[in-house]
Amino acid sequence: MRAKGFVQLHRSLGIPSDYAAGRRLKPQREATRLVRIGRSPTGRVLRLTPAAAAAWRRMQAAAARDGVVLIAISGFRSVRRQTTIIREKLATGAPIGAILRLVAAPGFSEHHTGRALDIGSAGHLTLEEDFGRTREFRWLQRHAGRFGFRMSYPRGNPHRIGYEPWHWCWRKVRRKRRPDQGV
């Protein structure tokens, strides 16, 4: 979707025109090459980009070796699906400002990239802040960076999106060059 299309879409949802600038958010390109990583607890097929999927599998296996079970709840989400989520919340009477504290506007969600995962555990299959008090979350805090994942929305993040201890996005792991490796 082109920028003009997002302007019209955002207007139809009641999203302020200064949303992106005010939240310091950049548009997120929708992934086109995705692989299946399994199903969500509700049965939805979950997909990520091939590199993010490989990193997820490595991280999930490492956690399992430590006795920690990480469960993928959500992965790739299209602009269309993001729009539907917001429309469903609006239909319940939720104000757009409250919705945008928990859900990124269509075109700005890291889920569009196919690199973002919502992660839970056996006792925490809904996206709630109390996941931040679990053993699984503590494992992610200590180890996710080794696999290229980082929590996108910690408390007080500059994007004014609520604390989301479950939302982790994969970035390429940049290996530090040792001084003895040369140029």
Which pLDDT belongs to residue 176?
61
Query: Does residue 178 belong to any structural domain of this protein?
Result: no
Which pLDDT belongs to residue 3?
56
Query: Does residue 29 belong to any structural domain of this protein?
Result: no
pLDDT at 1 over 70: no
* Rounded average pLDDT over 5-27: 92
SS (H, E, C) the chain: CCHHHHHHHHHHHCCCCCHHHHHCCCCCCCCCCCEEEEECCCCCEEEECHHHHHHHHHHHHHHHHCCCCCEEEECCCCHHHHHHHHHHHHHCCCCHHHHCCCCCCCCCCHHHHCCEEEEEECCECCCCHHHHHCHHHHHHHHHHHHHCEEEEECCCCCCCCCCEEEEEEECCCCCCCCHHHCC
Query: Does residue 167 belong to any structural domain of this protein?
Result: yes
Query: Does residue 98 belong to any structural domain of this protein?
Result: no
Query: Does residue 67 belong to any structural domain of this protein?
Result: yes
Query: Does residue 57 belong to any structural domain of this protein?
Result: yes
Q: Provide the domain limits for residue 151.
A: 36-76+114-172
Query: Does residue 181 belong to any structural domain of this protein?
Result: no
Query: Does residue 31 belong to any structural domain of this protein?
Result: no
* Rounded average pLDDT over 43-48: 97
CATH number at residue 118: 3.30.1380.10
To the nearest whole number, what is the mean pLDDT of the chain? 93
**Count of structural domains, the chain:** 1
Record the pTM: 0.89
List pLDDT tens digits, range 127-142. Answer: 999 999 999 999 999 9
* Rounded average pLDDT over 48-74: 98
* Rounded average pLDDT over 79-104: 96
- Identify the band that residue 6 occupies on the pLDDT scale cut at 50, 70 and 90: confident
